[in-house]
Amino acid sequence: MKIAVCDDEKEIREYLAKRVTDTLAAEDIDGSVECFSDGEPLAERYSNGKADFSLILLDITMKNCDGLTAAKRIREYDPDVMIVFVSASAEYVFSGYEVRAFRYILKPELESGFAGVFRDCLRELTKSNEFHFSFQTGNQTVSLNIRDILFFESDKRKITVRCSGGREYSFYSKLDKVEEELKKHDFVRCHQSFLINAKKISSLKQGEAELISGDLIPVSKHRAKETNEAFLWALR
Protein backbone atom coordinates (compact mmCIF):
# COMPACT_ATOMS: atom_id res chain seq x y z
CA MET A 1 0.00 0.00 0.00
CA LYS A 2 1.49 3.32 -1.09
CA ILE A 3 0.42 6.47 0.74
CA ALA A 4 1.19 10.09 -0.16
CA VAL A 5 1.37 12.87 2.43
CA CYS A 6 1.17 16.37 0.95
CA ASP A 7 1.48 19.39 3.26
CA ASP A 8 3.60 22.53 3.05
CA GLU A 9 4.20 22.53 6.82
CA LYS A 10 7.20 20.32 7.54
CA GLU A 11 6.09 19.59 11.10
CA ILE A 12 2.65 18.39 9.99
CA ARG A 13 4.14 16.43 7.09
CA GLU A 14 6.53 14.56 9.37
CA TYR A 15 3.83 14.02 12.00
CA LEU A 16 1.42 12.47 9.48
CA ALA A 17 4.13 10.31 7.94
CA LYS A 18 5.07 8.93 11.36
CA ARG A 19 1.45 8.27 12.35
CA VAL A 20 0.85 6.46 9.06
CA THR A 21 4.03 4.37 9.38
CA ASP A 22 3.29 3.46 13.01
CA THR A 23 -0.30 2.48 12.24
CA LEU A 24 0.67 0.33 9.26
CA ALA A 25 3.22 -1.46 11.44
CA ALA A 26 0.66 -1.97 14.22
CA GLU A 27 -1.85 -3.39 11.74
CA ASP A 28 0.85 -5.57 10.11
CA ILE A 29 0.22 -3.97 6.69
CA ASP A 30 3.04 -3.71 4.18
CA GLY A 31 3.17 -0.11 3.03
CA SER A 32 5.26 2.94 2.28
CA VAL A 33 4.88 6.72 2.65
CA GLU A 34 6.05 9.41 0.25
CA CYS A 35 5.96 13.07 1.24
CA PHE A 36 5.30 16.16 -0.88
CA SER A 37 5.59 19.78 0.25
CA ASP A 38 3.28 21.10 -2.48
CA GLY A 39 0.40 19.87 -4.64
CA GLU A 40 2.13 20.59 -7.95
CA PRO A 41 4.70 17.73 -7.97
CA LEU A 42 2.03 15.33 -6.69
CA ALA A 43 -0.40 16.26 -9.47
CA GLU A 44 2.45 16.16 -11.98
CA ARG A 45 3.21 12.58 -10.96
CA TYR A 46 -0.33 11.63 -11.99
CA SER A 47 -0.24 13.54 -15.27
CA ASN A 48 2.96 11.65 -16.14
CA GLY A 49 1.30 8.31 -15.36
CA LYS A 50 3.83 7.55 -12.64
CA ALA A 51 1.60 7.56 -9.54
CA ASP A 52 0.03 4.48 -7.99
CA PHE A 53 -0.95 5.66 -4.51
CA SER A 54 -3.79 4.01 -2.61
CA LEU A 55 -4.36 7.01 -0.34
CA ILE A 56 -3.44 10.70 -0.34
CA LEU A 57 -3.45 12.82 2.83
CA LEU A 58 -3.76 16.25 1.30
CA ASP A 59 -3.52 19.70 2.88
CA ILE A 60 -6.05 22.12 1.41
CA THR A 61 -4.33 25.48 1.92
CA MET A 62 -0.85 25.44 0.39
CA LYS A 63 0.95 28.45 -1.05
CA ASN A 64 1.67 27.32 -4.61
CA CYS A 65 -0.75 24.56 -5.67
CA ASP A 66 -3.49 24.15 -3.06
CA GLY A 67 -5.09 20.83 -2.21
CA LEU A 68 -8.36 21.36 -4.05
CA THR A 69 -6.58 22.30 -7.27
CA ALA A 70 -4.26 19.31 -6.95
CA ALA A 71 -7.19 16.97 -6.20
CA LYS A 72 -9.10 18.15 -9.29
CA ARG A 73 -6.06 17.49 -11.47
CA ILE A 74 -5.50 14.08 -9.87
CA ARG A 75 -9.13 13.10 -10.48
CA GLU A 76 -8.61 13.69 -14.21
CA TYR A 77 -6.23 10.73 -14.18
CA ASP A 78 -7.35 8.58 -11.26
CA PRO A 79 -11.01 8.38 -10.22
CA ASP A 80 -10.29 5.77 -7.56
CA VAL A 81 -7.45 6.97 -5.35
CA MET A 82 -8.69 7.73 -1.85
CA ILE A 83 -8.27 11.37 -0.81
CA VAL A 84 -8.41 12.62 2.77
CA PHE A 85 -8.21 16.37 3.23
CA VAL A 86 -6.24 17.82 6.12
CA SER A 87 -6.91 21.47 6.98
CA ALA A 88 -6.64 24.03 9.74
CA SER A 89 -10.18 25.26 9.02
CA ALA A 90 -13.58 23.66 8.41
CA GLU A 91 -14.57 26.25 5.79
CA TYR A 92 -13.59 23.97 2.90
CA VAL A 93 -15.38 20.84 4.12
CA PHE A 94 -18.10 20.91 1.46
CA SER A 95 -15.59 21.59 -1.31
CA GLY A 96 -14.33 18.06 -0.75
CA TYR A 97 -17.48 16.66 -2.33
CA GLU A 98 -16.38 18.10 -5.68
CA VAL A 99 -13.46 15.68 -5.79
CA ARG A 100 -15.09 12.82 -3.87
CA ALA A 101 -12.91 13.15 -0.79
CA PHE A 102 -13.30 10.20 1.56
CA ARG A 103 -12.79 12.07 4.82
CA TYR A 104 -11.74 15.43 6.27
CA ILE A 105 -9.43 15.96 9.26
CA LEU A 106 -8.95 19.27 11.05
CA LYS A 107 -5.35 19.92 12.06
CA PRO A 108 -6.27 20.97 15.62
CA GLU A 109 -7.92 17.55 16.01
CA LEU A 110 -5.15 15.46 14.43
CA GLU A 111 -3.91 13.92 17.66
CA SER A 112 -7.34 12.70 18.74
CA GLY A 113 -8.98 12.15 15.35
CA PHE A 114 -6.31 10.74 13.08
CA ALA A 115 -6.39 7.13 14.31
CA GLY A 116 -10.12 6.71 13.69
CA VAL A 117 -10.07 8.31 10.24
CA PHE A 118 -7.01 6.39 9.13
CA ARG A 119 -8.43 3.06 10.27
CA ASP A 120 -11.63 3.84 8.33
CA CYS A 121 -9.41 4.37 5.28
CA LEU A 122 -7.59 1.09 5.83
CA ARG A 123 -10.86 -0.84 6.18
CA GLU A 124 -12.17 0.63 2.93
CA LEU A 125 -8.90 0.04 1.08
CA THR A 126 -8.65 -3.52 2.35
CA LYS A 127 -12.18 -4.14 1.14
CA SER A 128 -11.42 -2.74 -2.33
CA ASN A 129 -8.16 -4.69 -2.46
CA GLU A 130 -9.92 -8.06 -2.09
CA PHE A 131 -10.33 -8.54 -5.85
CA HIS A 132 -7.31 -9.90 -7.70
CA PHE A 133 -6.72 -11.35 -11.12
CA SER A 134 -4.27 -14.26 -11.17
CA PHE A 135 -2.56 -16.05 -14.03
CA GLN A 136 0.39 -18.29 -14.80
CA THR A 137 3.34 -16.96 -16.78
CA GLY A 138 6.16 -19.43 -17.27
CA ASN A 139 6.60 -21.19 -13.95
CA GLN A 140 5.42 -18.14 -11.97
CA THR A 141 1.95 -17.31 -10.67
CA VAL A 142 1.16 -13.58 -10.76
CA SER A 143 -1.70 -12.03 -8.76
CA LEU A 144 -2.67 -8.45 -9.65
CA ASN A 145 -4.98 -6.12 -7.79
CA ILE A 146 -7.61 -5.25 -10.40
CA ARG A 147 -7.41 -1.59 -9.34
CA ASP A 148 -3.90 -1.55 -10.85
CA ILE A 149 -4.83 -3.05 -14.23
CA LEU A 150 -5.23 -0.68 -17.20
CA PHE A 151 -6.04 -3.06 -20.04
CA PHE A 152 -5.55 -6.47 -21.65
CA GLU A 153 -4.46 -6.87 -25.26
CA SER A 154 -4.87 -10.14 -27.12
CA ASP A 155 -2.74 -11.39 -29.99
CA LYS A 156 -4.13 -14.80 -30.94
CA ARG A 157 -3.77 -16.74 -27.66
CA LYS A 158 -1.12 -14.50 -26.12
CA ILE A 159 -2.50 -11.85 -23.76
CA THR A 160 -0.54 -8.85 -22.53
CA VAL A 161 -1.76 -7.08 -19.41
CA ARG A 162 -0.62 -3.50 -18.78
CA CYS A 163 -0.69 -2.07 -15.25
CA SER A 164 -0.16 1.33 -13.67
CA GLY A 165 3.47 2.26 -13.13
CA GLY A 166 4.43 0.74 -16.50
CA ARG A 167 4.30 -2.89 -15.37
CA GLU A 168 3.51 -5.40 -18.09
CA TYR A 169 2.99 -9.17 -18.11
CA SER A 170 2.14 -11.77 -20.74
CA PHE A 171 0.33 -15.08 -20.44
CA TYR A 172 -1.59 -17.52 -22.62
CA SER A 173 -5.37 -17.64 -22.49
CA LYS A 174 -8.50 -16.47 -24.33
CA LEU A 175 -9.63 -12.87 -23.95
CA ASP A 176 -13.22 -14.15 -23.79
CA LYS A 177 -12.35 -16.03 -20.61
CA VAL A 178 -10.67 -12.98 -19.04
CA GLU A 179 -13.66 -10.83 -19.99
CA GLU A 180 -16.10 -13.24 -18.35
CA GLU A 181 -14.09 -13.15 -15.12
CA LEU A 182 -13.71 -9.36 -14.95
CA LYS A 183 -16.82 -7.82 -16.55
CA LYS A 184 -18.51 -7.48 -13.13
CA HIS A 185 -15.52 -5.37 -12.01
CA ASP A 186 -15.99 -2.54 -14.55
CA PHE A 187 -13.92 -4.07 -17.35
CA VAL A 188 -15.35 -3.66 -20.84
CA ARG A 189 -14.50 -5.28 -24.18
CA CYS A 190 -14.04 -2.20 -26.35
CA HIS A 191 -12.48 -4.08 -29.28
CA GLN A 192 -12.01 -7.67 -30.38
CA SER A 193 -8.42 -7.50 -29.13
CA PHE A 194 -8.78 -5.19 -26.09
CA LEU A 195 -10.40 -5.43 -22.67
CA ILE A 196 -10.05 -2.19 -20.67
CA ASN A 197 -10.67 -1.10 -17.10
CA ALA A 198 -13.51 1.43 -17.47
CA LYS A 199 -12.38 3.15 -14.26
CA LYS A 200 -9.12 4.04 -16.00
CA ILE A 201 -10.72 5.82 -18.98
CA SER A 202 -10.07 9.56 -18.96
CA SER A 203 -11.95 10.38 -22.19
CA LEU A 204 -13.79 8.78 -25.09
CA LYS A 205 -14.02 9.94 -28.68
CA GLN A 206 -15.05 8.29 -31.90
CA GLY A 207 -13.08 5.12 -32.35
CA GLU A 208 -10.75 5.62 -29.40
CA ALA A 209 -10.50 5.57 -25.61
CA GLU A 210 -7.78 7.48 -23.80
CA LEU A 211 -6.73 6.00 -20.47
CA ILE A 212 -5.36 7.89 -17.47
CA SER A 213 -1.94 6.48 -18.41
CA GLY A 214 -2.10 8.23 -21.77
CA ASP A 215 -2.57 4.95 -23.67
CA LEU A 216 -4.91 5.22 -26.67
CA ILE A 217 -7.05 2.10 -27.12
CA PRO A 218 -9.17 1.43 -30.24
CA VAL A 219 -12.94 1.21 -29.77
CA SER A 220 -14.80 -0.66 -32.52
CA LYS A 221 -18.09 0.73 -33.83
CA HIS A 222 -20.28 -2.10 -32.60
CA ARG A 223 -18.73 -1.90 -29.11
CA ALA A 224 -18.86 1.90 -28.78
CA LYS A 225 -22.25 2.05 -27.01
CA GLU A 226 -21.28 -0.61 -24.47
CA THR A 227 -17.93 1.11 -23.84
CA ASN A 228 -19.56 4.49 -23.30
CA GLU A 229 -22.11 3.01 -20.88
CA ALA A 230 -19.34 1.27 -18.94
CA PHE A 231 -17.37 4.52 -18.75
CA LEU A 232 -20.37 6.44 -17.41
CA TRP A 233 -21.19 3.67 -14.94
CA ALA A 234 -17.59 3.63 -13.66
CA LEU A 235 -17.89 7.36 -12.85
CA ARG A 236 -20.76 6.74 -10.43
In CATH, the number for domain 2-128 is 3.40.50.2300
Report whether pLDDT(128) > 60: no
Q: Do domains 2-128 and 132-234 have the same CATH topology?
A: no
In the structure, what pLDDT confidence band is assigned to residue 126 with cuts at 50, 70 and 90? confident
pLDDT 10s digits, 129-168: 567 899 998 888 998 888 889 999 999 889 999 998 788 9
Residue 63 has pLDDT above 90, yes or no: no
Instruction: Tell if the pTM clears 0.85, that is, is over it.
Output: no
pLDDT on residue 77: 85
pLDDT confidence of residue 7: 94
Q: Are 100 and 83 in contact (CB under 8 A)?
A: yes
Question: According to the per-residue pLDDT averaged within each range, which of 36-45, 87-96, 119-128 is highest?
Answer: 36-45
**How distant, in Å, are the alpha carbons of 153, 166, 172 from that of 136?**
16, 20, 8
Share of the chain above pLDDT 90, in %: 52
Domain boundaries, the chain: 2-128, 132-234
H-type alpha helices, the chain: 10-26, 39-47, 67-77, 110-128, 175-182, 224-234
pLDDT, mean over the chain: 89
* 180: number of Cβ within 10 Å: 10
What are the residues whose beta carbons fall under 8 Å from the beta carbon of 65, sequence distance 6 or more? 38, 39, 40, 43
Asked if residue 57 has pLDDT above 80, the reply is yes
β-bridge mates for residue 60, sequence order: none
Predicted confidence at residue 149, as pLDDT, reads 93
Nearest to 160 by CA among 200, 128, 194, 187: 194
Query: How many CB atoms lie under 10 A from the CB of residue 138?
Result: 8
Assigned architecture for domain 132-234:
Beta Barrel (2.40)
